[in-house]
Amino acid sequence: MRSITKASIAALAAVTATTSFAFADGLSGDLKIFLDTSNPAPRETFETMIAEFQGMHPDLKIETTIIDREAYKTQIRNFLTANAPDVATWYAGNRMLPYVQPGLFEDVSDLWEGELGENLASTKAAMTIDGKQWGVPYSYYQWGVYYRADIYNELGLTEPKTFEEMKSNCQAVLDSGRKCYTIGTKFLWTAAGWFDYLNMRTNGYEFHMDLTAGRVAWTDDRVKQTFANWRELIDMGAFIDNHTAYSWQEAIPFMAKGEAAAYLMGNFAVDAIKDAGVTDDQLDFYQFPMIVEGVPMAEEAPTDTLHIPSNAKNKANAKAFLQYVASADVQTEINAKLGQLPVNNKSSVNADDKFVSQGFEMLNGAYALAQFFDRDAPAEMAKVGMEGFQEFMVRPDNLDAILTRLDAAAKRIYK
Amino acid sequence: MSMQADHSNRSWYKRNEIALTPWLFLIPGILMFLFYVILPVFQSFYISTLDWDGLGQGTSVGLENYRELWHDPAFYISLRNNLIWLALYLLAIPAGLFIALFLNQTVTGIRLYKSLFFFPFVISQVVVGLVFTWFYDPTFGLLNTFIGWFGFGPINVLGDPTYVTYGIIAAGLWPQTAYCMILYLTGLNAVDPEQIEAARLDGAKGWRMLWYVIIPQLKPATFIAFVVTVIGALRSFDLISIMTNGGPFGESRVLSFYMFEVALSEYGFRMGYGAAIAVVLFLIMLCFITYFLYSMYKEERGH
Amino acid sequence: MFPTPIEKSSRTWQLTYQSLLPVALVLWLLPLIAVALFSIKPAGDFSAGNYWNLPSQFAGFENYGRVFLESDMPRYLLNSVFITIPTVIGAVALSAMTGFALGIYRFKLNLAVFFLFVAGNFVPFQILMVPVRDLTLQMGLYNTKTGLVLFHIAFQTGFCTLFMRNFIRALPFELIEAARVEGIAEWRIFWYVVLPLMKPAIAALAVLIFTFIWNDYFWAVVLTQGVESQPVTAGITSFNAQYRAAYHLMSAGSIVAAIPPVAMFFLMQKHFIAGLTLGAVK
């Protein structure tokens, strides 16, 4: 721990020597940080990390506010305009756009110059709008299917490589009196994970990007094919009943109790699944299988980011903090605790964590990385779209009406 | 000279004291009220003609927001739910009357019973919403545990578009019924005992007594119960926000929630569109406000 | 008295009624009793699927202890106090004055002004949302308790004026005339004659407004965010999000949030009901 801190100080000092932030051996003044890391593990990780930063700058008055992750999404616009902190968490990709366009995020391109920029190069595109960078990433993570290995073993199943295997596995699970997948769609976005994967596997990454960017109509036959694949699973009864009533956390007990065998989720869920009583031996992970032969396998890998609001009062301190968080050692440390992947390519991945190392390998071999439906599509479209996905999961017969509605919304939103 | 002025000043005030005093007393209240309530109502009308994201300047788009509203399926779902709310929320009035009649006795401990029956009204709707969310939970909720004993269920009340609005209204009826109950309990206290005795001698009892003698005397209580229930139904927001967040797929939205979503949620910030929804809600309410004011006006005239 | 007093009915019905009362009460409060039960259960009961049986052990101290010591709930509670109390004082003070003006004096616009207050009070407050939020932002009061308090005072003045004015109307007008004959200044009449008579109305209104404001959620969400200014109704949702699916803690938190108005109600029951039911009898 001590050596990491020392190394970070050295790294910081090196950076400050080249840039013009005037501080000698410690920052002073205030630093107001808003975080959406409200789940127990991320909360603790950030609190520890901030405490270390505080230790390096004893004269700095740091004030941290941790806001519930779902509530944060509705509040960010408010506080960026009215009550801006100096640092705020957010997400990469198109999801920055509503705050970049009206000038609510500060341009931090200068942080991306030099070595740090090279180290973070893999996410540079996702952080860039209009040729400038608007924040720094601190973490990313894979999505995939987390499953109960003990149930698969009991039924003699193996990790599926194709959609056909996925369905036959599912049938075996159903025959054993369980559901194949747990999911909680109360807050909508979990359904988008399914859509993203089904669409990327059916029509490919480029098509998916065209769709979320409004270049393809929602009523396109290729989109319908994606939903047709989805429907096969729904008609089998693959998903748990009543998923509209649950949040993603509330869907976990079905898996913990063995009533459902698997969960398509981001890697952040591992912690919560284990907390619910699933042991490390019982839990395993596989990549979402291929659907159409020859479609290159792209993956979801949402990037979590830190930004400086344009209305921030202590931008110099904020930049120092961003540099600190982006540095190799700090990324190694926090991502080990988060169970996620560091963005900085000088950081090391926690090899003891089988999910993290598998995920890292999978993402390295990926054809391309998508952020996530609600980060790739504009906010309003994401909302309408995800409502449509949820409705489809409950009433698949409404598909035509849903797609017509999405198309009408898209025409208005992308104009 | 100055004393002269002083004197005439005072006498001017003195002369007009009766006319001036009410305005002096009214000014702070009126200013606050105009500033925060009356003017914003008109501002909302204006904002509803803008395309505005809440930052900087909006651009005027005339009636474009209303035109969009006209074609917006979510708007009609919200409107439909508002009407369902309005109709079913009024059940709080007979239900409150029923409980009031049940409790209008003088056995020992009845005061405590009355207070405890009133309890739900005092609790925040946020807590009521939470309590009922668990009550309806498809896995462990009391409701499904209960109907499970009879071999039914489980019903996913809050996750099923068919039931969700009714489920939330039922949660809302809980405190509202308590409110109506207390109104009627007070009303029953004031019912003229002589009239009851007279009616008894005429052979009236049970339902006939209730309908022809008691209910007419409870008219003031019924009027207030009606007013607060209608307002409560049209303002419903907290429960929806807590219990379903408008879902599943927007089926439990009402106008007030939809406007919040459009104007202030992450996916929204369309102030103009939100204001247009608010204006529609206001116009619906205006029918009732006119009726209430008219009733009160008649009353005032009667004095 | 209606319905027929129980003492005058048959013995069996008396007994039935007496036993029916507690049953009805338990049914009526069942959802609440469930939450109270949840709040004293240890976490293990929920993962073991023991939702509705008795707690395997009493964990009330632990659960409530965590609410008070390990969460932001105490701050939210304090915020609620600092929002509610000034609002009660402000709204009661303003409406005592407006009620006095409208209840005592006869002038041309009296009824018009009165109806303005009443109508404003009936307005669905969502129509105020966008402009009031913007106003508060421009005054630099967004996300402050002051901003919330000012709006609450203004909005509650509508209802309070209706209440106070009707109350003052019912006071004996001779007292005021007698005072005027004595040559007492009008503001002194307000202070020394009318105000003392208004005590019951002030008490009733104070309790009522306290409950309304304490339980407000909508404006708390629109005008504030974060732990430095949000009241407990909004705080409880972030508390719950932090402990989602930790039912024992969510229950304990909800009960803590609900207690102040409940306590207020039981302590001031007479005033509370007098306030709520004003106008329910003629």
Query: Do C152 and C223 reside in the same domain of the chain?
Result: yes
Residue B50 confidence (pLDDT) above 80: yes
Residue A65 tokens read as: 């506010």
Distance CA B104, CA C211 (A): 25
Contact C226 A253 (CB under 8 A): no
- Mean pLDDT value of segment B245-269: 87
**Running DSSP on this structure, what letter comes out for residue B105?**
S
Query: Do A255 and A318 reside in the same domain of the chain?
Result: no
Nearest CB neighbour to A383, from listed B56, B73, B267: B267
First to last CA, chain A: 52
Per-residue CA distances from B287 to B254, B284, B291, C187 (Å): 18, 6, 6, 39
Query: Do C143 and C46 reside in the same domain of the chain?
Result: no
Up-side HSE of residue C160: CA atoms within 13 Å toward CB? 34
Distance CA C234, CA B182 (A): 28
Lowest mean pLDDT among A200-204, A228-232, B191-195: B191-195
The residue among C129, C136, C230, C249 with the most chain B CBs within 10 A of its CB, best to mutate, is: C129
Which one-letter amino acid corresponds to residue C107?
A: F
Contact C133 B35 (CB under 8 A): no
pTM, full prediction:
0.87
- Is residue C41 assigned to a domain? yes
Nearest CB neighbour to B247, from listed A81, A186, A388: A186
Contact B156 A390 (CB under 8 A): no
Distance CA A119, CA C128 (A): 49
Query: Do A153 and A256 reside in the same domain of the chain?
Result: yes
pLDDT range class, residue B9, cuts 50, 70, 90 = low
Q: What integer pLDDT is reported at residue A25 of this predicted model?
A: 57
Tens of pLDDT, residues A2-11: 344 444 444 4
Distance CA B32, CA C156 (A): 10
Q: What count of other Cβ atoms lies within 10 Å of the Cβ of residue C227?
A: 18
Tens of pLDDT, residues B104-158: 988 888 889 999 999 899 999 999 998 899 889 888 888 888 888 888 878 889 9
Query: Do A187 and A238 reside in the same domain of the chain?
Result: yes
Number of domains in chain A: 2
Query: Do C95 and C56 reside in the same domain of the chain?
Result: no
Contact A245 B250 (CB under 8 A): no
Query: Do C116 and C144 reside in the same domain of the chain?
Result: yes
Residue A152 tokens read as: 């698969």
The closest of A40, A255, A342, A102 to B56, measured between CA atoms, is A102
Residue B138's contacts (CB-CB under 8 Å, 6 or more residues apart) are: A241, A242, A245, B144, B154, B155, B156, B157, B159
Mean pLDDT, chain A, whole residue set: 88
Nearest CB neighbour to C120, from listed B37, B126, B300: B37
Find out whether B166 and B85 touch, Cβ atoms under 8 Å: no
- Mean pLDDT value of segment B80-103: 95
Query: Do A101 and A200 reside in the same domain of the chain?
Result: no
Residue C155 confidence (pLDDT) above 50: yes
Å between A179 CA and nearest CA of chain B: 15
* pLDDT higher at C241 or B284: B284
**Running DSSP on this structure, what letter comes out for residue B235?**
H
Instruction: Put residue C224 in one of left, alpha, beta given phi > 0 → left and psi -120 to 50 → alpha.
Output: beta
Distance CA C84, CA C149 (A): 8
Query: Do C119 and C247 reside in the same domain of the chain?
Result: yes
Residue C48 tokens read as: 């073991």
Determine how β-strand A260-266 pairs with β-strand A179-182. Answer: parallel
Nearest CB neighbour to C279, from listed B39, B224, B260: B224
- Mean pLDDT value of segment B29-50: 94
Report the 3 state secondary structure along A75-116. Answer: HHHHHHHHCCCCEEEEECHHHHHHHHCCCCECCCHHHHCCHH
Query: Do A6 and A127 reside in the same domain of the chain?
Result: yes
Query: Do A316 and A391 reside in the same domain of the chain?
Result: no
Instruction: Check the CA dihedral B258-A265-C226-B131 and report its sign.
Output: positive
Residue C197 has φ and ψ, to the nearest 5°, of: -75, -20
Query: Do C198 and C226 reside in the same domain of the chain?
Result: yes
- Is residue C11 assigned to a domain? no
Query: Do A123 and A192 reside in the same domain of the chain?
Result: no
- Is residue C6 assigned to a domain? no
Residue A237 confidence (pLDDT) above 80: yes
Residue B39 confidence (pLDDT) above 60: yes
Contact B159 A102 (CB under 8 A): no
Instruction: Check the CA dihedral A197-A198-A204-A208 and report its sign.
Output: negative
Residue C216: CATH number of its domain: 1.10.3720.10
Find out whether C230 and C79 touch, Cβ atoms under 8 Å: yes
Find out whether C248 and C38 touch, Cβ atoms under 8 Å: yes
Find out whether A385 and A406 touch, Cβ atoms under 8 Å: yes
- Mean pLDDT value of segment C149-170: 92
Residue C143 confidence (pLDDT) above 60: yes
Find out whether A158 and A152 touch, Cβ atoms under 8 Å: yes
pLDDT range class, residue A15, cuts 50, 70, 90 = very low
- Is residue C282 assigned to a domain? no
Which chain A residue is nearest to residue B265, measuring alpha carbons?
A74
Run of H or E including A129: strand A128-129
Query: Do C30 and C57 reside in the same domain of the chain?
Result: yes
Which one-letter amino acid corresponds to residue B191?
A: V
* pLDDT higher at B142 or A147: A147
Residue B90 confidence (pLDDT) above 80: yes
Residue B43's contacts (CB-CB under 8 Å, 6 or more residues apart) are: C130, C131
Find out whether B103 and B183 touch, Cβ atoms under 8 Å: no
Residue A315 tokens read as: 């931008």
Residue A58: CATH number of its domain: 3.40.190.10
Contacts of B264 in chain A (CB under 8 A): 74, 77-78
Tens of pLDDT, residues A285-341: 999 999 999 999 999 999 999 999 999 999 999 999 999 999 999 999 999 888 889
Tens of pLDDT, residues C95-137: 999 999 999 998 889 999 999 998 888 888 888 988 999 899 8
Query: Do C111 and C165 reside in the same domain of the chain?
Result: yes
Residue A147 has φ and ψ, to the nearest 5°, of: -135, 160
Residue A16 confidence (pLDDT) above 50: no
Distance CA C30, CA B117 (A): 11
The residue among B245, B267, B273 with the most chain A CBs within 10 A of its CB, best to mutate, is: B267
Q: Looking at the complex, does the CB of residue B140 fall below 8 Å from at least one CB of chain C? A: yes
pLDDT range class, residue C172, cuts 50, 70, 90 = confident
Query: Do A311 and A222 reside in the same domain of the chain?
Result: no
Number of domains in chain C: 2
Query: Do C42 and C86 reside in the same domain of the chain?
Result: no
Query: Do A123 and A170 reside in the same domain of the chain?
Result: no
- Is residue C59 assigned to a domain? yes
Q: What integer pLDDT is reported at residue A1 of this predicted model?
A: 37
Per-residue CA distances from B103 to B299, C268, C277 (Å): 31, 21, 17
- Mean pLDDT value of segment B175-203: 89
Highest mean pLDDT, choosing among B297-301, C121-125, C219-223: C219-223
Which chain C residue is nearest to residue A34, measuring alpha carbons?
C226
Query: Do C272 and C209 reside in the same domain of the chain?
Result: yes
Tell me the residues of chain C between 70 and 89 that have a Cβ less than 8 Å away from chain B: none
Query: Do C164 and C202 reside in the same domain of the chain?
Result: yes
Q: What integer pLDDT is reported at residue B10 of this predicted model?
A: 65
Q: Looking at the complex, does the CB of residue A364 fall below 8 Å from at least one CB of chain B? A: no
- Mean pLDDT value of segment A146-171: 95
The closest of C259, C265, C260, C237 to C250, measured between CA atoms, is C237
The residue among A248, A387, A392, A406 with the most chain B CBs within 10 A of its CB, best to mutate, is: A387
Q: What integer pLDDT is reported at residue C31 of this predicted model?
A: 86
Query: Do A118 and A61 reside in the same domain of the chain?
Result: yes
CA C225 to chain centre: 21
Residue A71 has φ and ψ, to the nearest 5°, of: -65, -35
Q: What one-character-per-residue DSSP string does C16-66 give?
A: HHHHHHHHHHHHHHHHHHHHHHHHTS-HHHHHTT-SSSPPSS--HHHHHHH
Q: What integer pLDDT is reported at residue B247 of this predicted model?
A: 78
Tens of pLDDT, residues B208-231: 888 888 899 999 899 989 988 998
- Is residue C253 assigned to a domain? yes
Contact B29 C211 (CB under 8 A): no
% chain A with pLDDT above 90: 58
Distance CA A27, CA A319 (A): 11
Nearest CB neighbour to A83, from listed C143, C227, C241: C143
- Is residue C8 assigned to a domain? no
Query: Do A133 and A153 reside in the same domain of the chain?
Result: no
Using the 3D structure, point to which of A290, A312, A346 is the last residue of a domain. A346
Run of H or E including B51: strand B50-51
Nearest CB neighbour to B265, from listed A74, A186, A387: A74
Which chain C residue is nearest to residue A77, measuring alpha carbons?
C225
Q: What integer pLDDT is reported at residue A235 of this predicted model?
A: 96
Q: Residue A93: exposed, middle, or buried by beta-carbon count in 10 A (0-12, 13-18, 19+)?
A: buried
Å between B1 CA and nearest CA of chain C: 26
Residue C281 tokens read as: 């009898």
Distance CA B85, CA B239 (A): 12
Contact A74 B159 (CB under 8 A): no
Tens of pLDDT, residues B264-297: 877 767 889 999 999 999 999 899 889 988 988 8
Q: What angle do CA B125, B130, B133 make, to 5 degrees?
A: 120
Distance CA A387, CA A381 (A): 10
Q: What angle do CA C83, C86, C87 make, to 5 degrees?
A: 75
Q: What integer pLDDT is reported at residue C112 of this predicted model?
A: 92
The closest of A49, A39, A54, A65 to C72, measured between CA atoms, is A65
Domain housing C182: 73-276
- Is residue A354 assigned to a domain? no
Complete domains list, chain B, with CATH: 2-47 (no CATH), 68-302 (1.10.3720.10)
Query: Do A262 and A200 reside in the same domain of the chain?
Result: yes
Which chain B residue is nearest to residue A412, measuring alpha carbons?
B68
Which chain A residue is nearest to residue B53, measuring alpha carbons?
A102
Which chain A residue is nearest to residue C137, measuring alpha carbons?
A82
Contacts of A75 in chain C (CB under 8 A): 225-226
Distance CA B144, CA B268 (A): 36
Q: Looking at the complex, does the CB of residue B19 fall below 8 Å from at least one CB of chain C? A: yes
Residue C229's contacts (CB-CB under 8 Å, 6 or more residues apart) are: C79, C143, C144, C145, C148
The closest of C235, C242, C164, C166 to C206, measured between CA atoms, is C164
Contacts of C137 in chain A (CB under 8 A): 81-82
- Is residue A355 assigned to a domain? no
Mean pLDDT, chain C, whole residue set: 88
Domain housing A254: 143-300+370-413
Contacts of A277 in chain C (CB under 8 A): 47
Å between A241 CA and nearest CA of chain B: 9
Query: Do C89 and C63 reside in the same domain of the chain?
Result: no
